[in-house]
Amino acid sequence: MMASSADDIEKLTQRLKAQGDISLEEADWIYSFCLDKIRSPIFEPRTDYTDHKLIMVLQDWYRAVTAKIERGERGNFIFTISLAKYFEFMGAARYAIKQHGSFEDLCNVIIFDERLYSKLPYKNLFEKIYSSGTSGKDYHILRTFRAGAYYYPVKTESGFYTISQFMKKLSPTIRDEHYLLDILFETAAGIFVLQKNPLPFPMNSGWVKSKEIKALTLGSFLKYNDISCVIASDTYQGRSIVFVEQERAPLVKEALTVSFEELVNNALYKNIINTEEARKLLNENYIPFPGVKFIKESVQYINDIVQTKIQWKTVREEVEEENAWLEEIR
């Protein structure tokens, strides 16, 4: 069986070099060697069970994959790489994809709120996470070690479908550190309820910095406006992106134009925080959590500005359309 496997991998390596790629089914088969929870004895360097030929042909396979990645090429061969589990024969390919790969190559965690998850054509790769509290909402998460999972074709009743196809229906709006957008998502999706639940890590000590307050505020703004979202993350590089429904994206993008300094000055004016707290927040120092009132007032401040801008843009567009119509009939 093993000799046959080695011979087959050798043939696939030659085809990869000659034709540029292999089939999805063949990529799945090669990747299956990485799926054992315990490293298989056949890959240990010095045991009675070591399969030296299989190790050798897998090394050749991943050398060929590494060369393609370094040249910027992509194909089904990407799906043979595990980003987490270590086998010596795969080391160079894993290093290459982490060095040269895009966000889409390395995206390994995708979290959906309930509303957007309900629109996904397939559900089998996602795990449902139940809220630990009585007030929070459930959510759905895909965790994977497989390179290229973001654009991996999954077979559905109506054909193959990828996460990237679904994400093209949404708009990327916020890019930031992974842990900050986790805070934002949990707040926006109603998983974490500010008034009822303890502050999420790393704010559970009660001490916070401005970037964490920003994440809480933006998440609360999304929740206030009932904006659904998805967070896609490359946890290896610490990068995350928040996606929202396209028709709601202008609202979020306008909210991002309101500076944190404006929010701090507004809270200071409303006597929600004092001068020393305002100074520390603006200087990125830790301060005790300023309270739910700060978040609520900031959300209202942002919302008032955003709604005014949206209304002004609508009026301006109507005036421009009317002027264009008048020019047309003259």
Q: What pLDDT is recorded for position 261?
A: 95
Strand-strand pairing, 159-161 and 239-245: unpaired
**Looking at the predicted structure, is the pLDDT value of residue 320 above 50?**
yes
Strands lying side by side in the sheet with 139-143: 127-129, 139-143, 109-112, 229-234, 239-245, 170-177
11-66 pLDDT, tens digit per residue, is 999 999 999 999 999 999 999 887 764 456 556 666 655 667 888 899 999 999 99
Say if residue 102's pLDDT is above 90: yes
| 288 or 167, greater pLDDT | 167
Predicted model pTM: 0.84
- Mean pLDDT score of the chain, rounded to an integer? 86
Q: What is the pLDDT of residue 285?
A: 78
Which one, of 1, 38, 140, 24, lies nearest residue 77 by Cα? Answer: 24
Specify whether the CB–CB gap between 69 and 96 falls below 8 A: yes
3-state secondary structure of 1: coil
The band of 177, judged by pLDDT with boundaries at 50, 70 and 90, is confident
Of 51-65, 127-141, 146-160, 298-312, minimum mean pLDDT range: 127-141
Do the Cβ atoms of 177 and 170 come closer than 8 Å?
no
Residue 164 pLDDT grade (very low, low, confident, very high; cuts 50, 70, 90): very high
- Banded model confidence at residue 3, pLDDT cuts 50, 70, 90: very low
Amino acid at 67: A
180-237 pLDDT, tens digit per residue, is 898 899 899 888 777 777 777 777 777 888 899 999 999 999 999 999 999 999 998 8
Every domain of the chain and the residues it spans: 2-101, 106-317
3-state DSSP assignment of residue 242: strand
Task: Tokens 């967070």: give the residue.
Answer: 231
Mean pLDDT over 306-326 rounds to 67
